[in-house]
Amino acid sequence: MCGRFVITSAPAALRQLFGYVEQPNFPPRYNVAPTQPIPVVLLENGARHFRLMRWGLLPGWVKDPRGFTLLINARSETVLEKPAFKNAIRRRRGLIPADGYYEWKTEAGRKQPFFIHRADGEPLGFAAVFETWVGPNGEELDTVAIVTAAAGEDLAALHDRVPVTISPRDFERWLDSKGDEIDAILPLMRPPRVGEFAWHPVSTRVNRVANDDEQLVLPISAEEIEAEAEAAKPKKVVRKTAAVSSDDGQGSLF
């Protein structure tokens, strides 16, 4: 699963890697969350383009998005059959530039966040599917979901699902959905190779979406983890009892 990610590479570096024609100037983001606008690279009229889309896919047949489940991930095993994704995976595939993502693991009864990134430090491209939802008044909303796969044996130590990442050599194959050669992209929907990614524990400050700074991705020590756990424990409430008068034995507030 992928529910938060990071995009910190310089816009010029991402433009060169993904090859889109626009030159957007966007700030680094250290805590991207669902429902926020996120960058998506897509193929349109033979060229790659950069477009902002809402993270949380809305199929075209949804009448009222307020009552529809937020679809931030699409499982690779069922993406070809699920009504919400089966058209998008064939015709509307994209790439989401990123530099890593967060995952939470329960340790000692507490969820510890980890930052996961390529071991070589290079940016990555999440496999994505997208839809343009059209509302009853003609309003349009571009929406997107990240494709996930079962984790490999190393990343499975953190979570049983991982985002599918597409190698730069396969960008064109993933994005090109003009034909109906769906079999060509099936081998791409797999987890990273063992050793391709590395990870380390980070502060629970990442739990709060409002926190969005470079400190979030820094590793923290065992001592800092313990300190955060201690600070998160509920405080004991000390109840004050009324003073007792020595004159009449009745409770008194004075």
Tens of pLDDT, residues 100-116: 999 999 988 899 999 99
DSSP 56: S
pLDDT at residue 73, as a whole number: 98
Q: Which residues contact 235 (CB under 8 A, 6 or more apart)?
A: none
In this predicted structure, the answer to whether residue 236 has a pLDDT above a threshold of 80 is no
pLDDT (mean) for 133-162: 95
| Distance, CA of 129 to CA of 212 (rounded, Å) | 26
Least confident stretch, 74-78, 163-167, 246-250: 246-250
> pLDDT tens digits for 52-99?
999 999 999 999 888 899 999 999 999 999 999 999 999 999 999 999
How confident is the model at residue 99, as a pLDDT? 98
CA dist., res. 75 & res. 72, Å (int): 10
Please list the residues that pair with 96 across neighbouring strands: 126
**pTM to 2 decimal places:** 0.89
Residue 130 vs residues 2, 3, 26, 125, 246: alpha-carbon distances, Å: 16, 17, 21, 15, 77
Q: Which two tokens stand for residue 214?
A: 């470079």
What is the percent of the chain where pLDDT is above 70?
Answer: 91
Helix H, strand E, coil C: the string for 142-175 is: EEEEEEEEECCCCHHHCCCEEECECCHHHHHHHH
pLDDT at 155 over 60: yes
Tell me what the mean pLDDT of segment 164-182 comes to.
89
Please count the other Cβ atoms lying within 10 Å of the Cβ belonging to residue 86.
16
Q: Please confirm, yes or no, whether 2 is among the known catalytic residues.
A: yes
Contact 25, 227 (CB under 8 A): no
User: Is 153 among the catalytic positions?
Assistant: no
Active-site residue, from 22, 77, 81, 103: 103
